[in-house]
Every structure is written in structure tokens, then in C-alpha cells.
Amino acid sequence: MIWDLHCHLSGVDGSTPDERIAMLMEYADRMGVERLVFFMGMNWSHEPTPDDLRQQNHEVLQAISHWHDRAFGFAYVSPQHVEASLEEIGRCIANGPMVGIKLWVAGKCSDEAIDAIIERAAELKAVIFQHTWFKVTGNLPGESSPLDLLTLARRHPQVPIICGHTGGDWERGIRAIRAASNVSIGLGGFDPTAGVTEMAVRELGARRVIYGSDIGGRSFASQLAKVKGADIPDKARQLILGQNLRRLLLPILREKGIEA
């Protein structure tokens, strides 16, 4: 069972969300990926306006509307626009089909401005995905590192949070969030550097490690390789490829009556 935590509609052939998701599903079939989580729309900006957020969420809602059996959506929100984000959570999650939130690079997640968003998502049992990187070349001004995520996770110790990209520089990323047991890592969206999954399983345990691809910028292939090629027990591989994500999603899926 393979579930993909981290999928986008950008960087994909096709002029509409419907065309793009249909195209992606063909490749998902070929690679044995059963279910996919989508967030963010066709055109991105580092600091989205409330209108951008609405537009991008609209595109994801449109894309997943014909794929209820396979595709999930996370609402794209921003700590720069807390009110608009809470409205989007209401529209897309509380009153819509989405099951999580995605936070990207508009503002650091260590900033308390984000707390109202985290609390509302937690209330709804929505899964929280925060992009993180440790770039030796320098992060964007609002781009969180895994240490920023640690700060956030310590303020909300009961809320499960996913550390996107494992910080890219995973030897530092894994260490940064190691002590916060409510944090899982997302394996998608950096090169298939050998050893990452072995270290993650060793330091965090397999239950805190989640496969995701970051398609269309990445391939299923390079990202699946991190799990399929890792020297880890098969049981750990199953957890990482799908069971962990399913476990995190089950509470909200049950409330929505979605079968999984």
C-alpha cells in the first residue's frame, strides 16, 4: 500500500486542474501509488495573498472532485493572513472535503502568529504539513527550518505535525526534530541521497517517517527510491510507504465518512 503525502499540480502538463490530475494518476498507477495528497495550485508565489490562497485551494478542490476514491486535499494557508486562512480552513476542511493544511514559506512557523491556524486545524483533526529547509545557501526570509518547526511543535506538544522535506539537509533536519515526538518527517522533495531513510528510522523510529514525492517538481521514482532502496526492515518500509499517513489521516477521514 503506497500513499503519497506530497503532490502538486504545478510542473505538470495540462492546462486545467482536471487535465493535470488525470495525467498524474496515470503515472501513479504505473508506480503503484494508490492514494495521493494534493496541495497548492497551478501558479505559486512565496507570499500568497488571500485571493491567491482561495484560488489555489479552488484548483485543488476542482482537481480532487473527480477522484474522491484516490485523492485527498490539504488547504493551503499562510501565517501572513490568519483571518483568511481560518476562512479557508472553514470552507475547505470544516465545510469541504479537505483533510489537512499546508504551510509553505510566507512566514516562519516559530512565530506565534501561526498558532490560531494550528489550533483550528487541530480541532478539526486536520493533518498539518509545514515545509522546512536548512539551506546552507540561505533560506528565504519567511522559510522555516526544522528548528523553527521544533519551536512550533513544543508550543503544541499534543498536535501531530509533519516536517516537510526533512529540512532537505536531512542529517541536520532529523536531529533538529528528534526530541519532539509529535513531529513526523516527510521524505519528499529532495535528492534521493542514500542513507536518509536508514538514519531517519534509526533516530526517529519508522512510525515517524512518511513517504511523499513532491511531484510534479520531482518524480515518483526518485522519491520512492528512498524507501524502496533503503536498508530497513520490510515492516518499516510498509509503515513509511503508507501506513503512517493512513494512521494520521484516519481520525479526520472517519469524521468525514471517507473510507480508507
Partner 1 sequence: MIDVNVSLSRWPFRRLPDDETPRLVKRLKEAGITQAWAGSYDALLHKDVDGVNRRLVEECNTHGDGLLHPFGCVNPMLPDWQEDIRRCREVHQMRGIRLHPNYHGYKLDAPEFDELLRLATENKLIVQLSVMMEDERTQHPLVQVPAVNTAPLSDVLSHHPAIPFILLNSQREVQGEALTRLAAAGNVYFDMAMQESVGGIEKLLRLVPHDRILFGSHAPFFYHESASLKIEESDLGETLRRMITVENASRLPHSN
| Residue 50 beta carbon to partner 1: minimum distance, rounded to whole angstroms | 30
Name which of 47 and 171 has its Cβ closer to partner 1. Answer: 171
Identity of the residue numbered 82: V
- Residue 124 CA to its chain's centroid (Å): 17
Name which of 184 and 223 has its Cβ closer to partner 1. Answer: 223
State the burial class of residue 116 (Cβ atoms within 10 Å of its Cβ: 0-12, 13-18, 19+).
middle
Distance CA 173, CA 227 (A): 18
Q: Which of residues 104-143 bind partner 1 (CB under 8 A)?
A: 133-137
Q: Which stretch binds Zn ion (CB under 5 A): 11-19, 77-85, 108-116, 211-219?
A: 211-219
Q: Which of 220, 241, 242, 252 binds partner 1 (CB under 8 A)?
A: 220
Distance CA 18, CA 10 (A): 12
For the four alpha carbons of 2, 7, 11 and 13, in that order, the dihedral sign comes to positive
Q: Which of 28, 79, 214, 241 binds Zn ion (CB under 5 A)?
A: 214
Distance CA 252, CA 40 (A): 20
Q: Which of residues 16-35 bind partner 1 (CB under 8 A)?
A: 23-24, 27, 30-31
Question: How many residues contact Zn ion, by CB under 5 A?
Answer: 1
Q: Which stretch binds Zn ion (CB under 5 A): 9-17, 113-121, 198-206, 210-218?
A: 210-218
Cell 501509488 maps to which residue? Answer: 33
Under the criterion CB under 8 A, does residue 15 sit at the interface with partner 1?
A: no
Under the criterion CB under 8 A, does residue 190 sit at the interface with partner 1?
A: yes
